[in-house]
Amino acid sequence: MTGGQSVSPWHVARLTVERDLRLAFRRPAQLVQPILFFLIVTTLFPLALSPELSRLRDVAPGVLWVAALLSSLLALEFLFRDDAQDGTLEQFALSGQSLTWLLFAKTFSHWLLTGLPLAVVAPISAGALGVDFGSMPGVVASLAIGSFALSLIGAIGAGLTLGVQRGGVLLSLLTLPLAVPILIFGARATELAIKSEPYGAPLYLLAAFAVLGLTLAPLAAAAAVRIGLE
């Protein structure tokens, strides 16, 4: 409640996203780190394998998706940690607003800052791996949808490790098994796109995982955060 009037959940979510974006751009090193990691891994990989384009295209789906998964894990540790340290999460819990909704807004901000940029720079990495320009829409679409699902799953792990000192390793152990289906279907969609074959089926499965995560992950993250704050 503010000034005796109820605040729209959409307005609260927008303010939360704007706040997270402002804070992220004040720490450019932390913001750029996952993107640089993704670009470095994918562009250096051809040097360690072979300059033969046909061979690079064969391994491109796996390289792109493993690099994207590891890059998203780099940023997950900071999803709730800073807000827990400065008391923001406690204020969220006491604000009278839905903690589930507020944590979803923070997760969406995380995707805007990590998953979406990875999808945007994916054509650079895919080009280094010999992928044709005509395959780029499928590569970008699969990474955009899959990274959103990864952010939702990662929010659960970030909430569960909220009270753990240096919980990055534990967070990775919790998140990686849940991310395996996304990795499989995302790599399959990318592979079909590179081969200029219909990639709708694995892309729909990725979207289904994203919808499932959208339904359940914020609830699980909110429950985990409440336990962590006690």
166-175 pLDDT, tens digit per residue, is: 666 778 888 8
* Residue 214 · residue 152 · CB < 8 Å: yes
pLDDT above 60 (res 107): yes
Q: Using CA atoms, how far apart are residues 160 and 57, in angstroms rounded to an integer?
A: 38
- Predicted confidence band of residue 1 (pLDDT cuts 50, 70, 90): very low
Residue 183: predicted pLDDT: 93
- Predicted confidence band of residue 85 (pLDDT cuts 50, 70, 90): confident
- Predicted confidence band of residue 45 (pLDDT cuts 50, 70, 90): confident
Residue 77: predicted pLDDT: 76
216-222: average pLDDT: 91
> Of 2-6, 48-52, 70-74, where does the model show the most confidence?
70-74
Measuring CA to CA, how many Å separate 117 from each of 4, 56, 60, 80, 180? 40, 23, 19, 20, 21
Residue 31: predicted pLDDT: 82
Residue 165: predicted pLDDT: 66
Q: What is the pTM of this model?
A: 0.88
29-47: average pLDDT: 87
pLDDT digits (tens, 9 = 90+) for 51-76: 777 888 888 999 999 999 999 888 88
Residue 80: predicted pLDDT: 82
Residue 226: predicted pLDDT: 86
* Residue 24 · residue 113 · CB < 8 Å: yes
- Predicted confidence band of residue 5 (pLDDT cuts 50, 70, 90): low
- Predicted confidence band of residue 162 (pLDDT cuts 50, 70, 90): confident
* CA terminus-to-terminus distance, the chain: 24
Round the average pLDDT of the chain to a whole number and report it: 86
Chain-centroid distance of CA 51 in Å reads 30
CB atoms within 10 A of CB 119: 21
pLDDT above 80 (res 42): yes
Three-state DSSP class for residue 132: coil
Residue 2: predicted pLDDT: 42
pLDDT above 60 (res 207): yes
Three-state DSSP class for residue 82: helix
Residue 167: predicted pLDDT: 61
pLDDT digits (tens, 9 = 90+) for 120-160: 999 999 988 888 888 999 999 999 999 999 999 989 888 88
Q: Using CA atoms, how far apart are residues 144 and 115, in angstroms rounded to an integer?
A: 6
